[in-house]
Amino acid sequence: MANVVVVGSQWGDEGKGKIVDWLSERADVVVRFQGGHNAGHTLVVDGKVYKLSLLPSGVVREGKLSVIGNGVVFDPHAFIAETEKLRALGVEVTPDRLKIAENTALILSLHRELDGFREDAAAASNAGTKIGTTRRGIGPAYEDKVGRRAVRVMDLADLETLPLKVDRLLSHHNPLRRGLGHKEVAHEAIMTELTSVADQILPYMDRVWKVLDEARRSGERILFEGAQGTLLDIDHGTYPYVTSSNTVAGQAAAGSGLGPNAISYVLGITKAYTTRVGEGPFPTEQDNEVGEFLGTRGHEFGTVTGRKRRCGWFDAVLVRQAVAVNGIKGIALTKLDVLDGLDEIKVCTGYMLDGERIDYLPASQGAQARVEPVYETLEGWKGTTRGARSWNDLPAQAVKYVRHIEELIGAPVAMLSTSPEREDTILVTDPFQD
């Protein structure tokens, strides 16, 4: 059976929720392979709206197994709060429907606090770099994981060695807190924080790599979903204005424990224009009436944070690069309807950097800030694309726009979304097709 990885091909917020929901209906297993509860997506199932940030989308569908992989950093309190919200909506999240990898690193209160301390210090200092994090402790938790001092899910079951792990963690964090002018954290406080949630978390713990290997061998369809877009990848994004994990498709294997040969199709979710939230370079940003139009028409506010997104024209350079680093076979183009009614639409086809035209995003922070977009201007359309369910329903100029994007990024459109409603989707290629 085909297994599919879904990745955002821009800075996130591409509308993954609807596409992942559409695909999860056909999948048997849905896996989150990176990130934390700092990004989310909205699902609409049978008229009910579900806003998820940590849990895989499969949890809202009966008969699906959902998995939180080892590539995720896991906040127990956020997990408990999210499951309670779902329970109020009639969705029971039970250990037979959800598995959490035993080797998943935990986000603790000290991670959230450190995240906020650093952002505040950077904002107050001209020398600092304010990243614009969600202050949910994601970055500090990944730092502890790489530093080999993280407390992991499995440690909640070992009360003999847990105090030693907490001591090791605090031997790093308390000097940091003193240096930032904040009081130390007591050992007992962290132990209480951990033991108070252990009974609610441990029933979900499992050897996820083994669960997924058995599912693959039995022919079940596996859907892998990430949290952030490619341009927020710690290695391939607009560093340092990135998230703290690898968001590209290759992380699906490392972040779940299933080998890369199990991945059959990579689907890149791509918005028909470009948005980003938080700080960092954005070559095609329109800090003008065009940006306001796109933001208002597209309801561009974060699912988790509610932060207003910055908006701009479609950047084919960035998406073409995302296609390459992810191995994207096809894209799901979303929010085409937001462009309805514009007289003209611009598309970035290259950059000028220090007087030279380039066809890639440079890795240097300074160079990223200096690039100037090179635009093509395309004719807009007066008809509507909203709700279209076949190519014949689309205005001719809208079809030309889509075809031109395909040429510019070097990948075909596999799915076209024309509204938030899941039925308003034009399917060209089924990613799960064997």
Q: Is 41 assigned a catalytic role?
A: yes
Phi, psi dihedrals of residue 412, rounded to the nearest 5°: -80, 160
3-state helix, strand, coil in the chain (%, to 5): 35, 20, 40
Distance CA 355, CA 377 (A): 21
- Contact partners, residue 105, CB within 8 Å, separation at least 6: 73, 74, 141, 142, 144, 145, 150, 151, 152
Structure tokens, 365: 């922070």
Q: Is 315 assigned a catalytic role?
A: no
Pairing of strands 344-353, 372-379: antiparallel
- The catalytic position among 13, 28, 233, 315 is 13
The angle, 0 to 180 degrees and rounded to 10, between the axes of the packed helices 76-88 and 187-201 is 40
Task: Compute CA distances 337 → 219, 384, 398, whole Å.
Answer: 37, 7, 9
8 A C-beta contact, residue 147 and residue 139: no
3-class DSSP state of 90: coil
Residue 314 backbone zone (phi > 0: left; psi -120 to 50: alpha; other: beta) = beta
Greatest extent of the chain over all pairs of C-alpha atoms, in Å: 68
- Contact partners, residue 26, CB within 8 Å, separation at least 6: 221, 432
Beta bridge partners of 332: 269, 415
- The catalytic position among 28, 37, 41, 115 is 41
Place of tokens 């964090």: 173
Active site residues: 13, 41
